Amino acid sequence: MTILIVGLGNPGEKFEKTWHNLGKETLENLAKNSNFSSFKENKKKKFSFSQKEVFGQKIILAKSLTYMNESGEAVKNLLSFLKLKPKNLWLIHDDLDIPLGKLKISKNRSSAGHKGVESIINYLGTKNFVRFRVGIGGKSALAPYRNLVSGTEVLKKSSQKKLNQAIKLATGALIFAVQNNLEKAMQRFN
């Protein structure tokens, strides 16, 4: 089975190291640590991707070249270009409703207000895909990170350690899911 893993985020240096780019940064971390080739850009179709066989499965890592809230067009283009169905899609993104340091894997769920996911559901006409939702908030942690979540403020050094921990958790969950299967990953991480 081919798995397309898309890390959501915004393009440009202005948005690097922000909570809202957690999905994209996790994907880049996974690519680097798993020796994927350099990402190939398709500017016309608004995405970049890299691929490799891992544990006997073809894994494609991809990033949208659009802003987060416009991710749907790039993801639809990716699926069409790669001749894949939404069921082959795994999204990784930040989630304000999940406490910092936690991760939830879900399938076939609504956007719950996440504008990037909402765009993808609208473009694909389905919510039948997998989401790795990486916690950046929760009730206790919400207030200190409200501005960071918007993707407009670069992380301060004091927050970089927490961001790196979230990226490490998400990268580990993706690797575990590819190696073992999605159901086992859901049992372990949810």
Ranges of each domain in the chain: 2-189
Are 16 and 28 a contacting pair, CB within 8 Å? Answer: no
Residues 130-147 have a mean pLDDT of 67
Structure tokens that stand for 52 in this block: 């490799």
Model pLDDT for residues 39-54, shown as the tens digit of each residue: 999 989 999 999 999 8
Structural Rg of the chain based on CA atoms: 15
Model pLDDT for residues 61-82, shown as the tens digit of each residue: 999 999 999 999 999 999 999 9
| pTM of this structure | 0.88
Q: Indicate the CATH number of 2-189 among 3.40.1190.20, 3.40.50.1470, 3.40.50.720, 3.40.50.11890.
A: 3.40.50.1470
**Between vectors from CA 32 to CA 12 and to CA 65, what angle results, nearest 5°?**
30
**Between vectors from CA 124 to CA 185 and to CA 22, what angle results, nearest 5°?**
50
Of 38 and 136, more confident? 38
Of 95 and 117, more confident? 117
Active site positions, annotated: 20
Model pLDDT for residues 105-138, shown as the tens digit of each residue: 999 999 988 999 999 999 999 999 999 999 887 5
Sign of torsion, CA 152 154 159 164? Answer: positive
